[in-house]
Structure 1
Amino acid sequence: MFLKIYEENPNPKDIREVVVELRKGAVVIYPTDTIYGIGCDINNAKAVERVARIKNMNLKKEHLSFICHDLSQISEYTKSLDNATFKMMKRNLPGPFTFIVNANSNVPKLFKNNKKTVGIRIPDNNIIRDLVKELGHPILSTSVLDEDEIIEYTTDPELIHEKYHNQVDIVIDGGYGDNSPSTVVDCTQGGFDIIREGKGELEY
């Protein structure tokens, strides 16, 4: 399915239609505030494994991330955030950042690496945030392409659909995407360590 949704004002009917499919185990390509993402319901292990196969990822070694709707949803999946981390996230979210935090037991096992950490995003994009809100829990977040392969079809939804329509269930056309990944910030060591410079410029 190739579905046009307008980012400024996503149609609730379209959002519900996608969420019905996500609950059945669909794999979806969706817009964010950076590169287009490919993901699924984080609680559906088979769908997560499908994404891993499409992206050629090893789930035991990969550092997986997911998208939350807001800060209160982040707190459901992390060990308690200290005051400085919470304030810093509040200043920068929604935005083009992936924050690595200590995971709690609500995070599915597939997502936890040996350090028991997880990457969390709240993109500044109404389509994906509305999907997460309607679904009721986070959606797996991994970019359509690896960063060293960023070329035109990462940004054009029609070309993304052309390439991936046999591998995924839905491609959402939310307009042209960006070709810069998110800035990755490690918050697990008591400070804020930028481990990948991307689109976002962190405000402390």
Structure 2
Amino acid sequence: MAQFFQLHPEHPQPRLIKQAAEILRSGGLLAVPTDAAYSLVGVTGHAPLLERIRAIRGVDEKHHFTLMCRDLSEIAKYARVDNAQFRLLKATTPGSYTFILEGTRELPRRLLHPKRKTIGLRVPDHPVVLALLAALDEPLLSSTLILPGDELPLADADEIR
């Protein structure tokens, strides 16, 4: 069953964030605004989530996924980060950049790129996503919301409904 939440883009309502977090915890999938475009997000503990995202997007098992993290310390938990990478991350996050880094053993293998053992990581700079990350206390698995046959990601909530 699809639900539509209208959240304030700068000051998301805590009650609605809590409801959205519960949907994610129960294995649900959300389309959320980010600082770049809309993304499909879910929590990493639900294995069928990857297949649902792949089916919606029309992509294969080689598709790269991104983990949205709250901060640099959370990125360091899931990826190997050397000093030069850390300086670059610190200078450019939060923001719309995604960094492809080698994953650690903390990541479930199904989330890593099958051959390279890497994953995309980012610290978003959008109040709605940051509120969800705080409510969940774990990273969000994400993929930009580009529908099959489209070249550009969806950027308008009314297009998603």
Show the counterpart of 1:94: 94
The corresponding residue for 1:143 is 144
User: Out of 4, 7, 11, which is 2:6 matched to?
Assistant: 4
Tell me which amino acid in the other structure corresponds to 2:134: K
Match of 1:21 among 20, 23, 39: 23
1 CA distance for matches of 2:110 and 2:59? 12
Aligned to 1:104: 104
Q: What RMSD in Å do the two structures reach over aligned CA positions? A: 1.6
Shift of 1:7: 2.3
1:150 & 1:128 partners in 2: Cα distance? 21
Pairing 1:141-180 to 2, within 5 Å after superposition: 141-145=142-146, 149-150=151-152, 154-161=154-161
Q: Is the 8 A contact 1:95 1:123 kept in 2?
A: yes
What do residues 48-69 of structure 1 show as CA deviations (whole Å, max 9, x unaligned)? 221111112222x122212111
Matching residue within 36, 39, 43 for 2:38: 36
- Residue 46 of structure 1 aligns with an amino acid whose one-letter code is P
Structure 2: segments with no counterpart, 5+ residues: none
Alpha-carbon distance in 1 for matches of 2:17, 2:27: 16
Tell me how far 1:148 sits from its aligned partner. Answer: 5.7
CA distance in 1, matches of 2:91, 2:130: 18
Q: For residues 118 and 134 of structure 1, what CA distance do their matches in structure 2 show?
A: 23
- Name the CA distance, whole Å, in 2 between partners of 1:109 and 1:12: 33
Q: What TM-score comes out, normalization by structure 1 length?
A: 0.72
Alpha-carbon contact 1:68-1:122 (below 8 Å) kept: yes
CA distance in 2 between counterparts of 1:91 and 1:98 reads 13
Is the partner of 1:6 in helix, strand or coil?
coil
Letter in 2 for 1:136: D
The number of residues matched between the two structures is 157
Pair member with larger Rg: 1
C-alpha distance in structure 2 between counterparts of 1:126 and 1:18, whole Å: 14
Q: How far apart in 2 are the matches of 1:4 and 1:148?
A: 25
Q: Which deviations, in whole Å up to 9, do the C-alpha atoms of 1:24-58 show, x marking residues without a partner?
A: 00010000001100121112111222111111222
1: CA distance between counterparts of 2:76 and 2:18? 25
Percent of aligned positions that are identical? 32
